[in-house]
Amino acid sequence: MRELAKIFVAVGTQSVGGGTSTLFLLRRFLVEREARISEREFTEAWALCQLSPGIHLVALAGLLGQRVAGWRGVLVAVSGMMVPAGIITAVMTAAYGVIADQPLAHAALAGMAPATGGMTLGLAIVLVRGARRHGPRAVVDIGLVIIAFAVLLLTTISSVAVIVTAATVGAVFLGRERPTSPEGASE
């Protein structure tokens, strides 16, 4: 159990920048280096966790921890990955708070704001690439994206209502192929 904790703490503290690097380190430690999980088990867990709500990597950590050591493994894996990383994030936020009112911080923020906006936009396009079907049916899928986009920008309808409605429409009309791509879900 201690070894499992070490692996997930290492993943949580060494993967900078989110999804892809976290996934890379999980695979390296659990499949390649320690051989605690087979390639097939890892791939299957990754496919299943894309169906979970919220942060898919938390679901992946839970599934892998469970595979290795049952429910105690879930607790160790998820807390090992999330708690140290959460503490680092909180400390960074506190440190930024000290300098947030400085003119230099304002200038940096003027560049970071469009950068984070652009990254959000780019991620959304990756998500569409992974979730849409191919051929003529892609028109329906992209239409759903455009409707959600317009609803948020042009109306006061709740985002929750948009997601619940789209999920219902999807359950009735949009099945048949894999729902999301690995790269889209890795965030």
Partner 1 sequence: MDPLALFGVLLKDSALALGGLGSLPLLRQDLVATGVVTDTQLVEALAIGRLSTGPNGLWIVSLGYQLAGPLGAAMALVASSLPPLVILPATAVARRWLLSVPFAGLVRGAALATAGLLCATGASLILPAGDAPSWWQVAVGIAAAALTYQGRLHPAVVVIGGAAIGLVLAR
Binding marks (x or -) toward partner 1, 67..96, rule CB under 8 A? -------x---x--xxxxxx-xxx-xxx-x
- Selected from 4, 29, 56, 69, the binder of partner 1 by CB under 8 A is 56
3 state DSSP class of 173: helix
Q: Least CB distance from residue 110 to partner 1, whole Å?
A: 4
Does residue 98 interact with partner 1 by CB under 8 A? Answer: no
d(CA 153, CA 148): 9
d(CA 43, CA 109): 39
Residues 106-145 that bind partner 1 (CB under 8 A): 106-128, 130-133, 141, 144-145
Binding marks (x or -) toward partner 1, 13..52, rule CB under 8 A? xxxxxxxxxx-------------------------xxxxx
Structure tokens at 163: 């997601």
Residues 155-174 that bind partner 1 (CB under 8 A): 158-160, 162-174
Structure tokens at 84: 């140290």
Instruction: Give Cβ neighbours of residue 102 (< 8 Å, ≥ 6 apart).
Output: none
With beta carbons less than 8 A apart as the criterion, state whether 88 and 13 touch.
yes
- Selected from 32, 102, 139, 178, the binder of partner 1 by CB under 8 A is 178
Give the Cβ contact number of residue 160 at 10 Å. 8
By beta-carbon proximity to partner 1, the closer residue of 32 and 89 is: 89
Residue 85's closest CA among 37, 19, 36, 29?
Answer: 19
- Selected from 4, 63, 64, 76, the binder of partner 1 by CB under 8 A is 63
Q: Least CB distance from residue 68 to partner 1, whole Å?
A: 13
By beta-carbon proximity to partner 1, the closer residue of 1 and 163 is: 163
* Alpha carbons within 13 A on the beta-carbon side of 38: 3
Q: Least CB distance from residue 156 to partner 1, whole Å?
A: 9
